[in-house]
Amino acid sequence: MISRVYLVRHGETAWSKSGRHTGRTEISLSEQGEVNARYLAPWLASVRFSGVFVSPRVRAQQTCELAGLGGAAQPDTELAEWDYGDFEGLSSAEIQGRHPGWNLFTDGCPGGESPAQVSGRADRVIARVRSLDGNVALFSHGHFGRVLAARWAGFPVEAGERLQLDTASVGIFAYEHANPAAPVISLWNVRPSDGAGAPS
């Protein structure tokens, strides 16, 4: 049975820093993003992983490499960020200017993915990792990571709106008392670059 799932969001990019929605666009980590990704390495080095899976996007793969797990990583297309479709590259303010009241987690994106599609993708990832043994690392993205957390805990995709997930941060999914019927989020949005120590 899976012990823990370590969800890692990629490091900072120019677009994440400016708040532009980055789905399919390939953007490398910023200099600061590389620095913060390196802080993940000693934090994750204390964990023995039976599986490491990474989004196909360059920013996630760079983060995985700098975190010291690139050699063990397997690409997983289902860990890619939400497909923003027509909203790719736009800030939330720009989208609100065109579509007042828009909410990603309830409305999705025209030309991209709906909440139901992203929720289904998250459920498939969760079903796969729950079939594994030991600890697993997932290198993914902000919005998709928030959906993963919501779905792991059994909440609808809309609950992801309330889960902030910073760049180069780690969350841990587990089971309370090792009970598969009791999935929990045991750690959330911890940034090793801020000096946070690894959990025991």
Active site residues: 10, 81
Gap between the Cα atoms of 10 and 59, Å rounded: 6
Q: Which tokens in the block code for residue 173?
A: 């999914």
Torsion over CA: 18, 114, 105, 190 (sign) = negative
Length of the chain: 200
